[in-house]
Structure 1
Amino acid sequence: MKALLNIAFVGLVQLAVIAALVFIPAGTLNYWQAWVLLAVFTMTAVIPSLYLQITSPAAMERRMRSGPIAEGRTAQKIVMAGLYASLAGASIVSALDHRYHWSHVPIAMCLVGAALVAAGLGTTVLVVKQNNYASTTVQVESDQQVISTGLYSHVRHPMYTANTLILTGLPLALGSYWGLAFLVPGILVLVSRIRDEEKLLVEELPGYRGYTQQVRHRLVPGMW
């Protein structure tokens, strides 16, 4: 019960942070796109996290160790700080776009953006469910094994594929084209993290080198 309450508390804090990042720069609560985004986050991140805590507590514990501070290496601390900054920047600029009407995004495109965010958040949940070793920090555990089924049969880093979906969908969901300016920096951050992580996995995780020959693409199926 304590763990569930902790997950619920973290989810509420995350919702509060997202709300602050969009409603304060927007200067209004009359921002339906932001309310939809909060609803999407609740349905595809907070509630599923409670489910994962019940069904896969060990995996959820790894998932909760996130952020630049949790990283063991300086390079990864910088990389994660860059990813968080990209997400925050996209949120703030998108909200300012709403406030000052820099761009006009059709309702249909906003809904597409919300769907991409939902797909990204849903994918992160599925990754944790399919891979009990999935973590938001770069590390190899003593009993860790290579996972090559499910999403991992298509790309080697589906968690980062999910992050790409979120980075793409977030500005559109908030009704902004200008927020997409953070997409390329965010992807470059992910690419840097993948390259560094794979060096570690090849060296320390038995069978990972063979897995890279089996599944060629790291982030986007058919591309890279």
Structure 2
Amino acid sequence: MKIIKVLAGGVTVLVVIGVFGLVGRWDWGRGWALIGLLITSRIISVPYLWRKNPELMKRRGQFGEGTKPWDIVVLVPFGPTFLAIPIVAALDIRYGWSAMSLWLWPVGAVLYAGFVGMITWSMAVNPFFEKTVRIQRDRNHQVIESGPYGIVRHPGYTATLFGLILAMPLLLGSWWAFIPAMLATLCLIVRTALEDRTLQQELSGYDTYTRKVRYRLIPGLW
């Protein structure tokens, strides 16, 4: 697991260098601001989650037994489309394809702050918040109804959709970046639908829970 974390860190560094390389300069303020937000959020959330839910944090980098094959299929296109958001934004900035007003940056920052708060809250109350979709029979998997799970059934996905995928183009100042963001959104919606169906079919008590909390991602809509 340490090797995987080191490799993941190395990939992150390469992505950052590559994105700034595509912009063609190192004085890209919005790029540095996003990096600052990412670092700050981890400094705040990670130590808290290690105190609140250490077992979950240990398991977050693992692929548990029983991971659904369709989940891997959905994650394959999600990764590239998500990574394409900063890449397209960088190219947009370099070649001036679009111009986004600076006043939209605070909107993106507020959305991102909401993402950090919601995802941290979700992980704090849900010990089964693993990276892949599976019924965790080895851990006595149960339905979680507290915290944000009393609002929507998949609050982690809600936070990711609005506070990360759709906020990133605003933070980077690129209208064109919404194209890969929409593709990543589609992948996330498909995954939400498939996961929710799996939980209804295989997790005891989840069907009853869906009658209490009606919406998957967006209250009043879906």
Closer/same/farther in 2, CA of residues 9 and 55 from structure 1, 3 Å limit: farther
Structure 1 gap segments, 5+ residues each: none
CA drift at 1:45: 2.9
Letter in 1 for 2:20: F
Deviation per CA, 1:30-78, whole angstroms, max 9, x where unpaired?
A: 1110111111111113542233223321111232337xx9983332112
Give me the identity figure in percent. Answer: 31
CA distance in 2, matches of 1:184, 1:11: 25
Please give the TM-score of this superposition, normalised by the length of structure 1. 0.87
Provide TM-score, normalisation by structure 2: 0.87
RMSD: 2.6
Q: Show structure 2 runs of 5+ residues with no match.
A: none
Change beyond 3 A, Cα 1:43–1:14? farther
Residue correspondence of structure 1 range 160-179 to structure 2 within 5 A: 160-165=157-162, 166-179=164-177
- The answer to whether residue 33 in structure 2 is matched with residue 28 in structure 1 is no
Matches within 5 A, 1:1-224: 12-13=9-10, 15-65=12-62, 72-142=67-137, 143-165=140-162, 166-224=164-222
Paired with 2:9 and 2:186, the residues of 1 have a C-alpha distance of 30
Cα deviation digits, residues 167-188 of structure 1 (max 9, x gap):
1000110110100112322221
Which amino acid is the alignment partner of residue 73 of structure 2? Answer: I
* Distance change (3 Å), C-alpha of 1:174 and 1:62: same
Quickly say closer, same or farther: Cα 1:216–1:21, change in 2 above 3 A. farther
Identify the range of structure 1 (14-23 vs 194-203) with the bigger mean alpha-carbon deviation: 14-23
Q: What code does the residue aligned with 1:148 have?
A: E
The 1:48/1:113 distance shift into structure 2, 3 A limit, reads: same
State the alpha-carbon separation in 2 of the partners of residues 14 and 219 from structure 1: 30
* Count of residues in correspondence between the two structures: 219
Is the Cα contact below 8 Å between 1:146 and 1:205 reproduced in 2?
Answer: yes
